[in-house]
Structure 1
Amino acid sequence: MGTTAASAPEEMVIRLEKLRPWLREHQAEAERQRRIPQETIERLDEAGVFSLTTPKRFGGADFTTRELHDIYRALGAGCGASGWMVWAAAGGNLWGAAFADDVVRPVYEPVRAGNRTFAVGGTSRRMTGTARRADGGWLVKGAWPFATGSIHASHGFLAVFYDETDDAKVGMVLVPKDQLVERDDWDAMGLAATGSQTVATDGELFVPDERFSTPQRLAARVAELTEQGTGPRRGGLPRSLVTGTGVALGMADHAMEVFLGGLGKRSIPYSPYTNQLDAPITHLTVGRVHSRIRAAGRVADAAVAELDRYDRQGVDLSEDQTVQMHTDVAYVWDACASAIETLFRACGASAMAKRQPLQLIARNCRAGSLHAAHNVDTWMENLGRSLCGVDLGPASTSVLERRS
């Protein structure tokens, strides 16, 4: 099918449901490899998934928030790490609008399986590169950790500070990946298969002016493309994060399926119950977990519907609405991770074995909830400050969130 042939969203969900047994069977191997295996990438490509990571004006999918959310939920129910990788690559792809079309178009034209680009922007100079002026461009230097999607991409959008004294002077450069060093240092307790390695320059790397941009240029270019009817849908980063809750909910769906599938096959040692299905605590656990996942889904559904309504009306989020969206996302991730962990504990010591899928699902979802953009304590505090009328103050954010 190829990544530039966008399928109807319903068809893509059906294909992912058919692919689900394969994804589940190969989750453990993907974790051992610390990357999504190439064969899985090719199967996802056949399902049309990588049209999500290509801009609409280059033939990519232009789905609503609801459609994206449902696709990520179907993908997360098969392999949470695969869902995370596709979602992250699609979100960072917004930076493709910051550059002239004749610069970006060749990135998306080659026929190959997988995402074309990845994007990395740190919250500090320690996690981001630097750039200094040179004749006709910039000399870029640095290392960028957590480069999700970099293994299968051909190009990267890399954040750079271009003023030694002013942290507001931050830009983004478009760099072919073959000009970067891949450190293969991603070895995490969860989402290990995302291959979120560090990429770095080998000394200083020359980047021509046409491959350098800024958040201000991105905002102006998005407005221009929107006026022409070829721009991304409204919502920016909050919309990307809301669609990503589908990955968390998909993992929670998988965990519940695994737990219910194992009932009647085990006892509760040191208790009167030779069959776990007979124990009232089992019924209580299932009821509570089901309700927690359902509640998380309703929170996500409300955010999805709100974003799609704003998109139809041509309305942008206010600052307070953006904080609420971030908090909703953090709540969903934490609720799903907690629900899965409850099921994991209810399975007893046998669930610790690596051959049992529940331990991997639990680690993957909790790892996703620890991402800075998903941290429930941070966003509950931010929401509380907003509701109490307390100035939020300047936030430490990545380059992807800096406003013009």
Structure 2
Amino acid sequence: MATTIPTREEIVRKVSDLIPSLRKQSLWAEENRRLPEETIEALADAGVFKLRRPKHFGGYEADTTTLTEVATEIGRGCPSTAWVASVYWIPTWMACQFPDEVQEEVFATPDTRICGTLSPSAMATPVDGGITVNGKWGFISGAHHAHWQEIIAILVPPDGEPYPVMALVPLSDLLVMDDWDTSGLRGTGSISTFAKDLFVPQERVLPLPVVLSGQSASKRNANSPIYRAPLMPVAAASSTGAIVGMARGAMDVFLDRLPERKITYTNYDSQRDAPITHFQVAEAALKTDQAAFHAWRAGNLVDRKCEEGTEWKLEERARTRADVGSVIQLVKEAIGILANASGGTSIYKGIPIQRIYRDILTVNQHALMHPNTNFELYGRVLCGLEPNTLYI
């Protein structure tokens, strides 16, 4: 299926045009704990769900740097929307590692949306023709609007050691529990899903270590640069744009309110005139710039390694995760400065800065993105030790 592929600039411009409507709909998303249908339709029209879809299925096969720029613009409008878009990109890339006949089924739907997880919180048993899965997966962002879910389970073979497997299942095959009621990223609809004696055919099952190491079962995607990489650097670098976008959005809304705000119990009738404000805005802007550098470095490394087709060094993999940790830490600090400078009125629900601050605090708690976890891993590798995790 041939398709006209827009340039990076065209895609970024389309999502930039969505910022006003995303900001308007973000309060609805917050209150209803999911994205509105209008937002999903707008993202589809802008081509967001085609970015990681193979070209032979009408997709764009966009590189990681494009994902970073697109997610940054979406994040300026609504952090929850940017998070969901980023989460869809990662399992979509993972689906492209499966045999081609599986992809034919998965990508038969236009603008296929795939949610997923990297957590092996279910058990799988080998059966004739495939596996049977039982278990639960939490934090499944975008599940309300997804067609498929990528799941991880621990397979217990009759002989040998248990190991994690990755599988693709239609969302309609899973039970759904709407248990997403949180302090931040409320609009992501990151609910829980369950499998009960779910049969998954063997062709839709891959050993997770194989995908983590960068091996693919797809023949049609074998020569496409974006699909020949280890999973974790791809997943990490695909997430950073949404985080940088949160900081940019926080600065936007802070500056919008600035001229009309006074500093109570002082002689400053406009907060814009106060030297402390100048320091705060400059510091937040510079931290955001630093975060954008780490996001760019992670994405650029993934794209370069994919183009070259060269083997990943252990230090490069660990540094990619460290870059993600740096993005989150710097953005959390930048948004914290702006939230602290926003005054008592900023605690009202209709003022976006408090919501953006809660969102970044929530991202900071993500198990694979927490700065402390990622810095420790990078430092461990730099010290000449083996990583103490498969997720690298």
Do the two structures share a fold, i.e. TM-score over 0.5? yes
Q: Which amino acid aligns with 2:126?
A: R
- Summarize the alignment of residues 32-181 of structure 1 with structure 2, pairs less than 5 Å apart: 32-111=31-110, 115-122=112-119, 128-163=121-156, 168-181=162-175
Pair 1:264 & 2:263 matched: no
Q: Which amino acid aligns with 2:74?
A: L
In 2, the alpha carbon distance for the partners of 1:121 and 1:214 equals 13
Q: Which amino acid aligns with 1:9?
A: R
In 2, the alpha carbon distance for the partners of 1:286 and 1:231 equals 37
In 1, the alpha carbon distance for the partners of 2:117 and 2:299 equals 25
Q: Is the 8 A contact 1:6 1:48 kept in 2?
A: no
Q: Is the 8 A contact 1:86 1:115 kept in 2?
A: no
Match of 1:239 in 2: 234
Q: Is the 8 A contact 2:314 2:381 kept in 1?
A: no
1:343-366 C-alpha deviation (Å, 9 max, x unpaired): 011011110101001111111122
Using the TM superposition, give the Cα deviation of residue 242 of structure 1 relative to its aligned residue in structure 2, in angstroms. 1.9
Q: Is the 8 A contact 1:130 1:161 kept in 2?
A: yes
1:308-354 C-alpha deviation (Å, 9 max, x unpaired): 33233222321111111111111111111211111011011110101
Q: Equivalent residue of 1:102, what SS?
A: helix
Using the TM superposition, give the Cα deviation of residue 182 of structure 1 relative to its aligned residue in structure 2, in angstroms. 0.7
The count of aligned residue pairs is 387
Q: Is the 8 A contact 2:100 2:220 kept in 1?
A: no
Using the TM superposition, give the Cα deviation of residue 63 of structure 1 relative to its aligned residue in structure 2, in angstroms. 1.6
Q: Is the 8 A contact 1:96 1:104 kept in 2?
A: yes
Using the TM superposition, give the Cα deviation of residue 369 of structure 1 relative to its aligned residue in structure 2, in angstroms. 2.3
- Gap runs ≥5 in structure 1: none
Using the TM superposition, give the Cα deviation of residue 207 of structure 1 relative to its aligned residue in structure 2, in angstroms. 2.0
Pair 1:312 & 2:307 matched: yes
In 2, the alpha carbon distance for the partners of 1:28 and 1:86 equals 18
TM-score (norm 2): 0.91
1:279 pairs with 274, 277, 281, which one?
274
Pair 1:23 & 2:22 matched: yes
Q: Is the 8 A contact 2:167 2:204 kept in 1?
A: yes
Q: Is the 8 A contact 2:96 2:218 kept in 1?
A: no
Q: Equivalent residue of 2:116, what SS?
A: strand
Instruction: Identify the range of structure 1 (56-65 vs 7-16) with the bigger mean alpha-carbon deviation.
Output: 56-65
In 1, the alpha carbon distance for the partners of 2:150 and 2:37 equals 22
Pair 1:346 & 2:341 matched: yes
Match of 1:192 in 2: 186
Q: Which amino acid aligns with 2:39?
A: T
1:34-53 C-alpha deviation (Å, 9 max, x unpaired): 11111110111111111024
Q: 1:98 to 1:323 in 2, by over 3 A?
A: same
Instruction: Identify the range of structure 1 (292-301 vs 348-357) with the bigger mean alpha-carbon deviation.
Output: 292-301
In 2, the alpha carbon distance for the partners of 1:149 and 1:5 equals 27
Pair 1:374 & 2:369 matched: yes
Q: Equivalent residue of 1:270, what SS?
A: coil
1:248 pairs with 243, 246, 269, which one?
243
Q: Is the 8 A contact 1:238 1:322 kept in 2?
A: yes
Match of 2:328 in 1: 333
Q: Is the 8 A contact 2:65 2:303 kept in 1?
A: yes
Pair 1:211 & 2:204 matched: yes
1:8-38 C-alpha deviation (Å, 9 max, x unpaired): 3211111111111000100010111111111
In 2, the alpha carbon distance for the partners of 1:208 and 1:215 equals 16
Using the TM superposition, give the Cα deviation of residue 141 of structure 1 relative to its aligned residue in structure 2, in angstroms. 0.8
Using the TM superposition, give the Cα deviation of residue 166 of structure 1 relative to its aligned residue in structure 2, in angstroms. 7.4
Q: Equivalent residue of 2:133, what SS?
A: strand
Q: Equivalent residue of 1:77, what SS?
A: helix
Q: 1:232 to 1:345 in 2, by over 3 A?
A: same
> What RMSD, in angstroms, separates the aligned Cα atoms of the two structures?
2.3
Q: 1:321 to 1:223 in 2, by over 3 A?
A: farther
1:71-115 C-alpha deviation (Å, 9 max, x unpaired): 11111111111111111111122331343222221221124xx54
Give the fraction of aligned pairs with identical amino acids, expressed as a percent.
32
In 1, the alpha carbon distance for the partners of 2:130 and 2:147 equals 21
- Gap runs ≥5 in structure 2: none
1:218-269 C-alpha deviation (Å, 9 max, x unpaired): 4442585554448615353213322321111111111111111212212112
Q: 1:333 to 1:169 in 2, by over 3 A?
A: same
